[in-house]
Structure 1
Amino acid sequence: MSPRAGTAGPASPGSPPPTRTLAFVESPVQLLNVLEWAHAHGLSAPARRPATEDGHRPPDASAGPARDLLTLVVLAPTDPMTRGQLRRMAELARDEGHEVRWEEARGGASAPFQTVGGLAGELRRAERVVMGDPFSRYVQLLLTITKARDLVVVDDGTATMEFTAQLSRGERLVRWHRKGGRPGPRDLLFAPVSAAARRRLAPGAGRGGRRVEVFSSMPIDAVPDGVSVTANRFVWTRARFGPPRVTAGADLVGTSLVETGVVDGDRYLAAVRALAGAHGATRYFAHRRESAEKLHRLAVETGLEVVRPELPLELIARRGPIGRTVLSFPSTVVHTLPLALAGTDVRVAVCDIDPSWLTATASPRAEGFLSGVTGTARDVHRVTGAALPDRTAPRAP
């Protein structure tokens, strides 16, 4: 009897037993990057699948059994768009032969206790733990349970840059757009757990038998001692999708900087309107966290077609069709899209966030961090500010 998808076949005589790997993801991009990591480390155990009409290529059915056992645990959020993308990504993970475990981790007051209790046994048996968001309280709590020798952090967007920098400086793990604010009651209550998780990922964690890896497409300058960095080149994405059909127009990529309280909503819409007019953009790919109210107003005021992608933008762009120019504000995609679209004629262009667009409550770190995201991006073009809103206006109140 052949092994079911998600399990490895019997090991060859004399070969080492497979490593048990447990991966925790809370967003579609995290799941995509776990698949890229698994592909780069040879963890896929492909099952035979028919070809589809959208460019989705079937796995190589001739490949041998997986060396390692990878179980993907989805700590499901409540946002409907994120859940939809995660379900589609889970299908792709199963196509790759990985086991997927869906946890309603936020389905009521008792859900966290049930989720953690149900995963405790798996965590203690796991020899490797992969996580998409080391800032997540859920993940930090799970890290206090596991005894895994190998810990892996895959990209959760540009936050990975801040994570490695904070780790190098020995700081507490705080998301960049919250840094500078006073810890709230929940932060103080959770502080011992967060500190314990940070110690497990701290510089020197590689000593004493534990190894820590960061798998990233982001530029990482500060690498803590005992932490190895592996480059994510989106090899799996390019092998499984595309090449895309490239259209003559331009597409614009949305951001959730308004929703996170970093950028003023009116300034953001004015910038989108100016960019679309200057470059002839017709479509706006919404970020999964953008509010319905903002997107409705944007469609009415700019005339752009708002598209809510069913997969991460790297896969949507690779599958196509995609505009010859892709416009973006500082975000993860200015780093990932050039890699996913390598070998095509698509040009990725980025527009800086002007300081006058920031809200009065934006973190003091916001301006420098966003500038760094743009300045470190490779193979992207910079958009001039000539056609954008007045940059001399005072900062939004």
Structure 2
Amino acid sequence: MREQGSAVAWVESPLQLLCAVEARHAGLLGPGVRVLARAGLPALNTTGAELAALGLPAGLTIETAGALRPPRRATWVLGDAFSGRAQLAALVAAPARTVVVDDGLATVRLLELLTSRPGTPLVRARAVPSRPRRMLGAAAGLRLRAAARAGRLTFFTALPVPAPLAAAVRATGAELVRHDFPWLRGRPAAGHPRPAESTVVLGTSLVRDGLIHRDRYLSWLFALGVPLAYYPHRREDPRDLEKVRAHPGVTVYDGRAPVEMTLRGLGPGQRVLSLPSTAVTSLRVLLAGRGVPVQAVEVPDDWWTASAPGSLRSHLQIFALERPSP
């Protein structure tokens, strides 16, 4: 699958949008790529504008869309394969090929589910799906497994997929392609001057998702010392951000664009701290040659709430704490 046909991408997060651009640059999609960014998400608008300013790959356009209506027999690019909207669309209009790009650690869960027993439904890790939703997820899983057997499924990821899981994915017939953001690395970083602070902290969605205690997280953050540059997660609670913004010595920066774009210009003498996050892996890749350490902070046991079972805790931490494979 190299430079043939046309493609339609449906993206619902800044990282998905960036990875769709990288997939076009890598030659995994056809010469004409329409990227449909889900309407009503300001962070997607910001990211799309910044990507366009960098000079998009030839043949790729970004537009806002309220619904997913891809043509039949096109190549589909998906970031969130757990989306009910995407799963239903795939059943109605079967794609010629499917390319799945990164959607955070959910990508790894998708790989695990697809390589588990046949019939396992594609549902999110924390979801308690209704019977119809489980049936839709099961049908979507059957479609993707069939596409893999036919050689029509590709996973395009920057995540450090463990060797046994990668082998299991390829055994299904799917293609697994690793990347290190070559398109983005080749673009100038002038649009985002690096922050003056030596310590950069990435915000987290774990508090708003009810997985860790707010007071534990904020106490840790404020005990790091100042000055700090804080790049909030796009889903952080605005009330929490007000507390962070009011703390002396902490500067809160615009967090609407992916940190892969805003922080790729960091240099020696600076460091990045983060709770478990996909951004840890991608920033390590992007900053490896610039002498900037990117440290994932393991979440202490007493931070977790009752809403975070042990399996979810392990899933969130194991990949974020790993170093990318060579």
Does the Cα contact within 8 Å between 2:230 and 2:252 map onto a contact in 1? yes
SS at match of 1:229: strand
1:1-397 paired onto structure 2 within 5 Å: 18-41=4-27, 68-76=31-39, 78-80=40-42, 82-89=43-50, 91-92=52-53, 95-97=56-58, 98-103=60-65, 105=66, 115-116=67-68, 119=69, 122-126=70-74, 128-170=75-117, 171-176=120-125, 178=126, 182-183=128-129, 187-202=130-145, 205-207=147-149, 209-221=150-162, 222=165, 223-224=168-169, 225-242=172-189, 249-274=198-223, 276-277=224-225, 280-301=226-247, 303-319=249-265, 324-378=270-324
Partner SS for 2:16? helix
**AA matched with 2:36:** V
Which secondary structure state, in structure 2, belongs to the residue aligned with residue 330 of structure 1?
coil
Tell me the equivalent position of 1:387: none
Change (3 A) 1:130 1:83: closer
Deviation at 1:86, TM superposition (A): 4.0
Q: 1:231 to 1:188 in 2, by over 3 A?
A: same
Could you say what secondary structure the match of 2:308 adopts?
Answer: coil
Rounded Cα–Cα distance in structure 1 between residues aligned with 2:278 and 2:180: 14
Q: d(CA) in 1 for partners of 2:62 and 2:134?
A: 31
Distance in 2 of aligned mates of 1:85 and 1:131: 20
How far the C-alpha of 1:200 sits from its partner, in A, is: 1.4
SS in structure 1 of the partner of residue 323 of structure 2: coil
Once the two structures are superposed, residues 96-125 of structure 1 have per-residue CA deviations (whole angstroms, 9 ceiling, x without a partner) of: 34122311x3xxxxxxxxx35xx2xx4214
Give the whole-Å Cα distance in 1 for the aligned partners of 2:25 and 2:175.
18
Task: Specify every segment of 5 or more residues in structure 1 that has no aligned partner in the other structure, as ranges.
Answer: 1-15, 44-66, 106-114, 380-397
Structure 2 Cα separation of the partners of residues 298 and 68 of structure 1: 45
Aligned CA distance change for structure 1 residues 25 and 201 (closer, same or farther; 3 Å): same
Length, aligned pairs only: 313
Partner of 1:12: none
> Would the alpha carbon gap of residues 271 and 305 (structure 1) be closer, same or farther in structure 2, given more than 3 Å must change?
same
Q: 1:27 to 1:335 in 2, by over 3 A?
A: same
Instruction: Mark the runs of 5 or more structure 2 residues left unpaired by the alignment.
Output: none
Residue 10 of structure 2 aligns to a residue in which SS? strand
Do the aligned residues in 1 keep the contact of 2:230 with 2:253 (CA within 8 Å)? yes
| SS of 2:201 mapped into structure 1 | strand
Please, what is the CA RMSD of the aligned residues?
2.7
Structure 1's 336 and 36: CA in aligned 2 closer, same or farther, altered over 3 A? same
Name the aligned partner's letter for residue 99 of structure 1. T
Deviations 1:192-223 (A, max 9, x none): 32222111112x5333x442111111122323
TM-score by length of 2: 0.86
Calculate percent identity across the aligned residue pairs: 31
- String of CA shifts for 1:226-253, please: whole Å, max 9, x gaps: 1121012111111013387686711111
List per-residue Cα deviations over 1:11-56 (Å, max 9, x = no partner). xxxxx9941111110111100011111111176xxxxxxxxxxxxx
